[in-house]
Structure formats: C-alpha cells, structure tokens
Structure 1
Amino acid sequence: MPTPHMLILNHGIDEARRRADSKHQRNLIEAAFQILSEENEKLGFTYSGFALTCLPHKPPSETVWKKDGHNLTLLIQSGVERDGSHVGVPYGSYARFILLFLQSEAIRKKTREIELGKSMRDWMSNMGLSIGGKTYKNVNAQAKKISSCSLTFYSGFNNKELMKKGGFVDGAIAMVDESQDQSTLWQDTVILNKEFYESLSHHPVPLSETALRAIGARSLAIDVYIWLAYRLHCIKGDVEVSWPSLHAQFGSGYSRLRDFRAGFIESLELATAVYPDAKVAVGETGVTLSPSKPPVARLEG
C-alpha cells in the first residue's frame, strides 16, 4: 500500500479514507492528513535523553525504573508519601504530555518558572486530552509521580552522571479541586529542577506539536517519534538498529520479541505518518535509519 501521504496527495483525503482497510490504516491516514493540512506549525521540545531512553508505558511493579538506550541509562526512583509508602514512577502518555508541556514552555520562554493554570489546560486540550472525569484523575496522578520522583542520567561510555539525582520540578505540580472554575484548575506556576532545566537547555530536541497531537495518547508511538526526530537528521549514513536493541530501548511490557516487533512496527508506521520526510526501512534483522530532513523547519539550514 502506498504511504498515507502519497495516497492523500495523489487521490485526495476522501479516496484515501475509502481505501483504508483497517482501523490502523484509518489512523495513519488521519494522522498524515493532520500534518499535510497544518499551515502554522508550532514547535515543542524535549530533552535529548528522552530520545534514547523512555518512561514506562504501563505501571511498573518496581519503585526504581532503569532504562538503557544508545550509550545512555535513565534511572528514576519513586518518591514516598508521608507514611513511607511509594508514590510510584511516572508512566504512560499522560506523564509524557505533562513533561512535553513543561519542557516546551521552558525552551520557548527561556525560564525555569513555568506558568500552569490556563496555559497547561489549553495545551492539554489542544493535544486531545480534555481535563475532566477519568482524565482529570489520571493526569493528577501522573503529575504527583513526576513531582516526587528523582532521576539520574548516566553516560554509557564511562558511567558518568550526566544529570545527578535531581528531579523534574522543585515543589509540586498541583491541581486545585475539580469543582472549581476550569481556568484555575492548576496552580499558578511550577519551577523546573535546575539540573534538569540546564540539561534540557543544552540538548533540546525540536518536535512538531501537530505530530504529537496526531499521535495522541499512544505512548510507544510518542517515544518512537521523538527517537526518529533526534536520530534521523544527525546520522551521516544508513544505520541498522537490531530488533533486540529496539526491544531493549522501547520494549518494556513486551516479554516476547515477536510481540514487541508487531507493536513497534505499528507505532513506527504512525510515527512516520506524522514525519513525512523520515527515511526508515523495516527488515528481518532490524530497522534501518537513513539520513533525513528534520521533522520541523527550525533545524534546517
């Protein structure tokens, strides 16, 4: 089947939708259409460390999360409640979107102090996460985990601590009572941890917020998109990444390699649907990355 972009460009969106023969294909068509239709692209940002490692996709049973990536290791330790019980490690798409908002605002405004309130509510809504009901509880739970955990990044070359045992924020990301006016759903501001902010400022990865919105609440696809956004414009030639290596980086929650492979390919297809210039080939032994234009114009030139 032609790529979603070619189907839309050659036959129009209505015919492309008609030719989609599965829910997954329809999702790819709609994601590609959002990208092709966007006229006013807005940049988001994330720390480069999250292009090589990632948070859990599902609630981890352990209170310390360790994830190895390409020459990098992420270690996140759960915070504790007053009674000594563990708050838990942040996970899933809600945690990722909260962190993406905080990082994007920090880079755009060049400050550790991030306005929440209406700004965060509007951003979450723009990402398709309307704050209310079950979503309110899920976002609030992840905000608490993000606020209380500590994190360290280690270099894979010499085990050097790239980011010491800090956290994401100083203090807490707190929501007011849900029954109050929606414009005051969040506290006024939060301060990013100094070491996290400095690492982010020195190594930001530009992303397309339209792409993130099109991906939606699919945590693996978010991670794959960030990975491609970081790697594809940096490499000088073709690079094959083996299935075992991909499983080690992205495969938390998949005990069998063949199950991971199927899930990863679907997420990769969605990530490339929102990154039309990505040059990626899936093979028997792994995925081959080829030098590509960056996903957002800011990196060009």
Structure 2
Amino acid sequence: MSSLFDEDEYARELADKGVDPAKAAEIARRTATVQKQGRRPRKPAAAGSGNLFAPPVRSPEPKRDSSLIADLIDSSATILTDAPSGSDIAYLHAILCQVGLPRGPKAVQGVSVFERVCGGAALRVTAGALWNGRELVQQPIPYGANPRLVLAWLNTQAVRTRSPVIPVGDSAAEFLRMLGKESTGGKNGTLTSFRKQIQALAACHMTLGFSAAGRAYTYNGQPVKQFEAWIQPSNEHQRALWPGVVTFSDDYYKSLIEHAVPQDVRAMYALKGSALAMDIYAMLAERLHRISGRPVTLHWKSLREQFGQEYHGIDPDKDFKKAFLLALRKVLAVYPKAKVQQVMGGLLLYPSPPPIQYK
C-alpha cells in the first residue's frame, strides 16, 4: 500500500460499506499505525508447515465479541497491508460458495436430509453412518464453522498436491493444530465438538447441482471416500484410533480441481465465529470478480433464499436481514476490495477484484 495512506478517507470508505463508524475508525487507525511504523503484521506459518489455518495474530481459543472484533480489526489491517502468500490461500468448491452447508444445529435437528437451492446451484446433504468396529453409528448432518474449515483445509491440500489422498496427522490433536485450533477436552471441549463434526462430514453424502454454458451438471456421492472412524480404546492407556489420511472420492476430487475457488485464509479465520459471515465472504469472493459492466442487484427475497432458510419465527425476514447485515459488515472489514452497497430492497454488487487473484 502507498505510504500516502489517508486514515480518514479509509474510515469513510469502510463506513460507506456498512461497517460501524466507530469500528471503521479503529480499523483505519490500526492500519495507519502499521503504515507509520513500517512493521509487517504477523503471518500464518509458511506453506508446507502443516499449519494452514494458524491465526494471524491471536490464539484460536473461543473469544468474547470484543475479542472477535479485535481479530477483525487486526485481520483487516493485515490483509490491507500484506499481499497474500501461498500459505494464505485456501480453496472451496464453487458450488459451496453459492449454497453453503447448514449453519446451526436447529437447521439439522431431527432431519437426515438438508437441501439448499439458489438460482443455478443446489446442494443436498444426506446424513450417513460410520462403522466403529462393532456397529454402524448414524451420524448427524455436518453444520457450523468447523466442517467449513475442515473441508477448506482438505480441499487445499488436494489442490496443492494434485492428489485426492490427504495426510491428516497421527492424531486428532495434531490435526487440530494443523487447523490452528487448540485442543481442549471434556464433554463440550474443542476435541469433542471437532470429532462430531468431522465424522459427520466424513459420513455424509452430497449432491451438488449447477448449470453452466446452457448445460446442467450433477455431482452425487460421498466426498470423503475413505475415513477410519474414531474408535474409542478398550482401556484408558490406549490412544483413540485416528485415520492418518483422508481420501476424497474420484468424482468429488475431479469436480473440485475444475471448480476450485481461492479464498484468503486470514479472512476465513477472522470470520470463523459466524458461519453466515463465512458463507457471505465465500459468495462475494466467487461472484464479484465475474461481474462485468453494470452492477448486479440482489434482492432480499433471493438473499433469503440463498442464505436464510434457517430463520423461522414471528418475523423471519426481518430477523434474517438484521443478521445478514451484521455479518456483511464483518465480511467487508476483511474483504476491503469488495464493492457492495446496501440499497432499497437489497444489495448492489459492483465489479471487484477477488481476494485472491486467479492463476
């Protein structure tokens, strides 16, 4: 970034994008400090270290809202002043950028099939079962931030190595460290939650439907072809069995290689407290750079269809709009090049550079 950084102008730009003015001023102040001091913000571990999702500044322990805001501020300054390196790049399937996995437990409670359709893209997730050495154990449908981060990490390794076979370490704790997460025990600890979600992801079947160039395409199968289920040891001195490798199915792997969308890991990690924000970021990263000519209007009805089917209650449209705008503010803080404007009846999307340039 140029040394002629205008703190006030940047604060106004963020505020115009919907970021709270006080937060916008703080982001601009931090960015200006980085410029004046000439320091380089801390970056994730280098490519090949196995720690792809290591947080750029803070430890990845659960945080209160104030700490999450501080992470957004730090990440925004880092993204603005530091071009992404190889270790900052992750990949999502293009369809999952348009129609994401379930976001909360209520969306999958008591159901074995989840479906989301938006325009020319569709996703269906069906819960599966895993063999634990004694019996087939029914798994829930994966939801929330963890499956998104795990799938992005696995996708990235597959794209980088051009192989559907992905090493995942010798233990769950090691894999958590690869993801930049701290391993905590207990019934509600990180390890327990992570175990449930990765097993649900490994067991599920997905149908991805999309249209391109006047043709309709369908991927139908189990993304994870091979996964040795977490088997509890028979005595306390044995370590729980862990797969060591995860293998993508050939169909999913080929589809991913053809339709991989690069994302900035630093932004994904800063948004991990909100699966909705992660999905909005993924959509904008995939869509904005494809707009040419006049800006595109997204009406609240189509946004609700794409992102808001989990909202129910007395006034679900109002609840969704409020949650969406709050999440969008977070997204724009870590995707500063995104040109998005709230207008009457929806959003206006302008042609914008992607967070990671396509090769």
TM over 0.5: yes
The match for 1:131 is 183
The match for 1:263 is 323
In the alignment, residue 148 of structure 1 is paired with which amino acid?
A: A
In the alignment, residue 192 of structure 1 is paired with which amino acid?
A: F
The answer to whether the 8 A contact 1:143-1:174 is kept is no
Cα distance in 1 for partners of 2:266, 2:237 equals: 30
Structure 2: runs of 5+ lacking an equivalent: 1-10, 15-23, 36-64
The match for 1:96 is 148
The answer to whether the 8 A contact 1:176-1:187 is kept is no
The match for 2:75 is 31
The match for 1:16 is none
Specify whether residues 81 and 102 from structure 1 end up closer, same or farther in structure 2 by C-alpha distance, changes over 3 A only.
Answer: closer
Structure 1, 93-102 or 173-182: larger mean CA deviation: 173-182
Pick aligned residue for 2:267 from 188, 192, 211: 211
Cα distance in 1 for partners of 2:238, 2:262 equals: 33
Q: Does 1:68 align with 2:117?
A: yes
Pick aligned residue for 2:209 from 154, 177, 198: 154
Instruction: Using the TM superposition, give the Cα deviation of residue 9 of structure 1 relative to its aligned residue in structure 2, in angstroms.
Output: 3.6
Identity of aligned residues (%): 26
Cα distance in 2 for partners of 1:220, 1:155 equals: 21
The answer to whether the 8 A contact 2:75-2:334 is kept is yes
Specify whether residues 130 and 30 from structure 1 end up closer, same or farther in structure 2 by C-alpha distance, changes over 3 A only.
Answer: same
Instruction: Using the TM superposition, give the Cα deviation of residue 6 of structure 1 relative to its aligned residue in structure 2, in angstroms.
Output: 3.7
In the alignment, residue 307 of structure 2 is paired with which amino acid?
A: F
Cα distance in 2 for partners of 1:140, 1:253 equals: 24
The match for 1:18 is none
Instruction: Using the TM superposition, give the Cα deviation of residue 286 of structure 1 relative to its aligned residue in structure 2, in angstroms.
Output: 0.6
1:176-191 to 2 correspondence within 5 Å? 186-191=242-247
The answer to whether the 8 A contact 2:295-2:350 is kept is yes
In the alignment, residue 29 of structure 1 is paired with which amino acid?
A: I
The match for 2:46 is none
SS in 1 for 2:289: coil
Specify whether residues 70 and 6 from structure 1 end up closer, same or farther in structure 2 by C-alpha distance, changes over 3 A only.
Answer: farther
Cα distance in 2 for partners of 1:94, 1:85 equals: 21
Instruction: Using the TM superposition, give the Cα deviation of residue 11 of structure 1 relative to its aligned residue in structure 2, in angstroms.
Output: 6.4
Choose 1 or 2 for highest CA Rg. 2
Specify whether residues 36 and 68 from structure 1 end up closer, same or farther in structure 2 by C-alpha distance, changes over 3 A only.
Answer: same
The match for 1:167 is 222
In the alignment, residue 189 of structure 1 is paired with which amino acid?
A: V
In the alignment, residue 132 of structure 1 is paired with which amino acid?
A: T
Specify whether residues 119 and 136 from structure 1 end up closer, same or farther in structure 2 by C-alpha distance, changes over 3 A only.
Answer: closer
Instruction: Using the TM superposition, give the Cα deviation of residue 161 of structure 1 relative to its aligned residue in structure 2, in angstroms.
Output: 4.5
The match for 1:251 is 308
Q: Does 1:110 align with 2:162?
A: yes
Cα distance in 2 for partners of 1:271, 1:126 equals: 24
The match for 1:8 is 30
Cα distance in 2 for partners of 1:213, 1:259 equals: 25
SS in 2 for 1:151: strand
Cα distance in 1 for partners of 2:296, 2:117 equals: 19
Task: Write the deviation string for residues 70-99 of structure 1: whole angstroms up to 9, x where unpaired.
Answer: 311111111136777741211001111111
Cα distance in 2 for partners of 1:125, 1:280 equals: 35
Task: Write the deviation string for residues 209-252 of structure 1: whole angstroms up to 9, x where unpaired.
Answer: 11112222321111111111100111113011111111111113
Cα distance in 2 for partners of 1:192, 1:132 equals: 28
Q: What TM-score, normalized by structure 1, do the two folds share? A: 0.84
Specify whether residues 26 and 284 from structure 1 end up closer, same or farther in structure 2 by C-alpha distance, changes over 3 A only.
Answer: farther
Cα distance in 2 for partners of 1:87, 1:25 equals: 34
In the alignment, residue 104 of structure 1 is paired with which amino acid?
A: T
Q: Does 1:51 align with 2:86?
A: no
Q: What TM-score, normalized by structure 2, do the two folds share? A: 0.71
SS in 1 for 2:73: helix
Aligned pairs, number: 290
Cα distance in 1 for partners of 2:241, 2:335 equals: 33
